[in-house]
Amino acid sequence: MLRLARRNKASMVYASTSEAYGDPQVHPQPENYWGNVNTWGPRACYDEGKRLGEVYCYEYFDKFQVKVKVARIFNTYSAELRNDDGRVISNFVNQAIQNQDITVYGDGSQTRSFCYVDDLLGGLIRMMESDAATGEIINLGNPQEYRVLEVAELTKRLAQSHSRITFHPLPENDPRIRRPVIDKAKALLGWEPVVTLEEGLLRTIEIYRSRFNKYGGGA
Ligand code: UDP
């Protein structure tokens, strides 16, 4: 894609990730934090793969003046996550609407900051359109931070579910904390998210539920 962008003098947004910060030792995470990533573990291929992509972007920007922009995308959700995606929001919502056990990994004290997809897409579109973003890394995410256990309780309450909240082993190298600093996105793009987790979860629950009522659990 970088070669194509160079040849066609196109600009390019690279969808990078908050995983570039790994299990961060700086909190919240600004773009100039270099991160804390284990190269030897189950998350390494994703984290380091995305980081290497950033390096290619940098080289093409620096050597060939390709107009690259790097979006570091934090946890994003909507009802378009597949039922079996395995991520926390799709798991919790699907479990809650079926009154199945809600599966919290670890003690649920780890944190994440969740951005509703409409907000995130708005940020990506602004990035595509912005010259000020060229050659920049910009965090895109919602800075409202929640403990995973709080997300389980909130989902259960909003879905009016009878699920039990159960605890399971924490995956290896699961980051303890995560929250973006979005000052750069505000300054360069005039962007910040507006959908709260409560609003976004209500929309997500409603859509998963109507799909579940129509097609059952397989869709
Ligand atoms: N998680 C959980 N139960 C689940 C799925 C995930 O407690 O059924 C936790 C997971 O251990 C992590 C957080 O929720 O701490 C977010 O996980 P996800 O896979 O959605 O995103 P990521 O870890 O990549 O940020």
| Distance from Cα 155 to the centre of ligand 1, integer Å | 14
What pLDDT score was predicted for residue 216? 82
Percent helix, strand and coil across the chain, each rounded to 5?
45, 20, 40
Ligand 1 mutation pick, 90, 112, 113, max ligand atoms within 8 A of CB: 112
Q: Which residues pair with 112 in a beta bridge?
A: 146
pLDDT (tens digit per residue) in 92-102? 999 999 999 99
Average model confidence (pLDDT) for the chain? 97
Measured by CA distance, the residue closest to atom 21 of ligand 1 is 87
Residue 219's nearest CA partner among 124, 81, 122, 70 is 81
CB distance 103 to ligand 1 below 6 Å: yes
CB distance 186 to ligand 1 below 6 Å: no
CB distance 139 to ligand 1 below 6 Å: no
Give CA–CA dist 165/162, Å, rounded: 10
| Distance from Cα 112 to the centre of ligand 1, integer Å | 8
- pLDDT above 70 (res 41): yes
Class of the CATH domain delimited by 2-215 = alpha beta
Place of tokens 């189950």: 42
Measured by CA distance, the residue closest to atom 13 of ligand 1 is 88
Dihedral sign for Cα atoms in the order 199, 84, 44, 70: negative
Question: From the alpha carbon of 152, which atom of ligand 1 is closest?
Answer: 7
Peptide bond into 180 cis (omega under 30): no
**Number of residues written out for the chain:** 219
Measured by CA distance, the residue closest to atom 25 of ligand 1 is 75
- pLDDT above 80 (res 219): no
- pLDDT above 70 (res 192): yes
What pLDDT score was predicted for residue 218? 56
Place of tokens 């291929």: 45
Place of tokens 């595509």: 128
- pLDDT above 80 (res 198): yes
Could you tell me the residue ranges of all domains in the chain?
A: 2-215
Residue 57's nearest CA partner among 72, 67, 47 is 67
Supply the residues annotated as catalytic: 46
| The residue type at 101 | D
pLDDT (tens digit per residue) in 107-161? 999 999 999 999 999 999 999 999 999 999 999 999 999 999 999 999 999 999 9
Judge residue 171's burial from the number of C-beta atoms within 10 Å of its C-beta, 0-12 exposed, 13-18 middle, 19 or more buried. Answer: exposed
Question: From the alpha carbon of 95, which atom of ligand 1 is closest?
Answer: 8
Ligand 1 mutation pick, 88, 170, 174, max ligand atoms within 8 A of CB: 88
